[in-house]
Amino acid sequence: MHDDAVVPFVQGTARFLKLSDVRNLEAWQRAFEGKCKDHRYYELIEETLANDFEYRYAVLEDATGKVRGIQPILFVQQNLVEGVRGIFRNIVDSIRRKFPRFLTMRVLMVGCAAGPGELDATSLEDAKWIAEALGATLRDYARAKKASLVVFKDFLASHRPAMTTLSKNNYVRVPSMPMTRLTTPFQNFDEYMQTLGYVSRKSLRRKFRKTERAAKIEMQVVDDASEVIDQIYPLYLQVHERSPMKFEHLSRDFFLRISKEMPGRVRFFIWRIGDKTVAFSLCLLCGDTLYDEVIGLDYEVALDLHLYFYTMRDVIQWTIEQKLRCYVSGPLNYDPKLHLGHELAPLDLYVMHTKRWLNPIFQFALRYLEPTRHDPTLKKFPNADQL
């Protein structure tokens, strides 16, 4: 085992290793056990994402040498105003004409490069221990690796009781762009529709009728994308390029390998008009919840046919038919989700500047940089106060 770095702390030692060094550790084979995205998913994204990320794994040992958790981290050159719009963004863009790297920093991120962050813990006690260990060690490691910021990326709100300990090490929590969640205790889709407001129901039915008059669309659900990869990957790229916020860039290989690496957990929803694939959705099935991870749309027809609404309707209907309890969708596109009765599933960022004297100034600036303040639709959700 070759250490990239070793950082001691009061309760033990943090070793920062590469994937090749942790892959065969027994603790890594159990990492994130029982969670939707376990160690196999982290291996997959490191090996397939089309990004210039630098990955490490914090192996956290207590004073006896026992591994209490392994936490993935990555280094990224991050644009801090990604997704920010309005006057503030115009000012930043004008400054960048002379100083191109303004508000772009090397960041140490804790969590998942393609999805929400979680702690590798099976109990609240372990989660608190891991959070304390990371809080005590990451500043020194980040400075040694020339990173200006440490960011716990998009951590599930369920981790808040454990993550409060980070404030002792001068981290501040700010809301990230949330996921959304829809509970599905319905007998059928019509029963679900009755829970929506009259205006929303009328608008949706009008959209669905227009789509069905214009085209005959058929849906197929498969667990392997190898036979359709040449049709679906260009659709993913179309959506990715149009997104106002970009972080991870999924590769063709990611879609090919995910079914093989995580058998039984993957579902591809494919929509076709005749022989032409016009939309797809990659979902992960975990227990009684369906997670809608990635969507691809053919924008030659997507807007005229209201494909975003049409595809979400079909996935929600499938979720109900499978007697699943919950449907979870990723960040962004909040307006249609609001009208479809979703609630917010908050995600958190925990942020610290590695220079102590700059940290209070930077945390003040975060009030203007944090992404949720620039999306007015979020305030309309009934549980917006949970952000």
Q: Which domains does the chain have, with CATH numbers?
A: 5-179+347-386 (3.40.630.30), 185-324 (3.40.630.30)
Strand partners, 220: 270
The two counts, helices (H) then strands (E), for the chain are 13, 13
Q: In sequence order, which ranges of 243-278 are alpha helices (DSSP H)?
A: 252-261
| pTM assigned to the model | 0.90
The span from the CA of 363 to the CA of 371, in Å, is: 14
Q: Where are the alpha helices (DSSP H) in 277-372?
A: 307-321, 334-339, 359-369
Q: What pLDDT score was predicted for residue 84?
A: 53
pLDDT at 99: 40
Work out the angle at residue 303's Cα, subtended by the Cα atoms of residues 332 and 347, and round it to the nearest 5 degrees: 5
The pLDDT value recorded for residue 82 is: 55
**Residues 181, 328: Cα–Cα separation, whole Å:** 4
- Residue 187: exposed, middle, or buried by beta-carbon count in 10 A (0-12, 13-18, 19+)? exposed
CA-derived radius of gyration, the chain: 22
Q: Per-residue pLDDT tens for 41-64? A: 999 999 999 888 999 999 999 999
269-303 tens-digit pLDDT: 999 999 999 999 999 999 999 999 999 999 999 99
Q: List, for the chain, all residue ranges whose pLDDT scores fall below the cut of 70.
A: 1-3, 79-103
